[in-house]
Amino acid sequence: MLQALVGEAPMPTAPIADDEPNLAIYLRKALARAWPELSIVAVARNGVEAAERITALQPDIAFLDIKMPGLTGLEVAQGIEGTARVVFVTAYDEFAVAAFEQQALDYVLKPVKAERLARTVKRLRRPSEGSSPPSDARLATALQQLLATAPAPALLRYLRVSQGELTHQIDVGNVLFFHADGKYTCVRTAEGEHLIRTTITELASQLDPQRFAQVYRSTIVNLDHLAGTRRDEMSRLFVRIRGRAAELPVSRAYVHLFKAM
């Protein structure tokens, strides 16, 4: 019995990286059906977290969504120094699939279908039967080409918010700040506030980084409406928004953004 255990190959490991929780849960369940022996060791919600998990865990495989806040799946893959084999999970079939196939990169299209996932799993379990993994040089070249041809994400210009029977269209330039409020995000303008279902993380990836800055895990401010900053006796930093008496705290992680002020 001991010899059998010693002789058994270790279970393959993989993280899943996707900023859409429901899709990550669906992929995890689909993989459990298609590959019961695969151990999902982490689920990352953005590119930065994915890179950290891969570095710490050194998995055999990494399932990476391409479009993620922080770092894209392509950028995460470029930074992998271990031997993890990457599977891209993408909705960008219009520009990515041809490049993936040409370079023999593994990919799965959204929405993930059981039949397509089964083919990917078969290739991962028996690499010699499918296309062999690309060399580091080929992978780097392919990823550079994909990054160069990937369409730039469209920046958010307007928000549609519902209030009773009415729907309002708000220019994001008129937003003073966004603040997470449970399952919702509060959109604060000079005229009032509205609730939307979009998360702070999703908003951060859609807003112009030259105009909007995250000052707290739950808060993004419009720099066009910034009146200034203040430090209290404990050296904690606060930002002041034009037309508002209440100040917004800045966490230590974002203090460096306001050093010049």
Read off the CATH number of the domain in which 131 is found: 3.40.50.2300
The residues facing 115 across adjacent strands are: none
Same domain, 19 and 141: yes
Task: Average the pLDDT over 54-73 and give the result.
Answer: 88
Same domain, 175 and 72: no
Containing structural domain, residue 62: 2-149
What pTM value is reported for the model? Answer: 0.53
Residues 14-59: pLDDT tens digits?
999 998 888 999 999 999 999 999 999 999 988 889 999 999 999 9
Question: Which tokens hold the place of 135?
Answer: 């060399």
Please, which pLDDT band fits residue 143 given cuts at 50, 70 and 90?
low
Residue 154 lies in a domain: no
pLDDT category at 70 given cuts 50, 70, 90 is confident
77 plus 175 within the same structural domain: no
User: What does the alpha-carbon distance between residue 248 and residue 220 come to, in Å, rounded to a whole number?
Assistant: 10
Residues 124 and 9 in one domain: yes
Which pLDDT score is estimated for 79? 80
Residues 64 and 134 in one domain: yes
Cis peptide before 133 (omega within 30 of 0): no
Q: What is the pLDDT of residue 167?
A: 82
Q: Where does a domain end: 114, 149, 184?
A: 149
For residue 26, is it within any domain?
yes
Q: Could you write out the DSSP letters of every residue in 59-109?
A: -SEEEEESS-SSS-HHHHHHT--S-PEEEEEES-TTTSHHHHHHTT-EEEE
User: Is there a single domain that holds both residue 214 and residue 110?
Assistant: no
Are residue 100 and residue 207 in the same domain, yes or no?
no
Say what percent of the chain tops pLDDT 90.
Answer: 35
- pLDDT on residue 93: 59
Average pLDDT over residues 165-182: 88
Higher pLDDT: 135 or 51? It is 51
Number of domains in the chain: 2
Residues 230, 111 share a domain? no
What's the pLDDT band for 132 if we cut at 50, 70, 90?
very low
Same domain, 89 and 172: no
Last residue of a domain, one of 95, 117, 149: 149
Considering the domain architecture, whether residues 99 and 183 belong to the same structural domain is answered as no
Domain boundary among 149, 174, 193: 149
Lowest mean pLDDT among 6-15, 80-89, 113-122, 206-215: 6-15
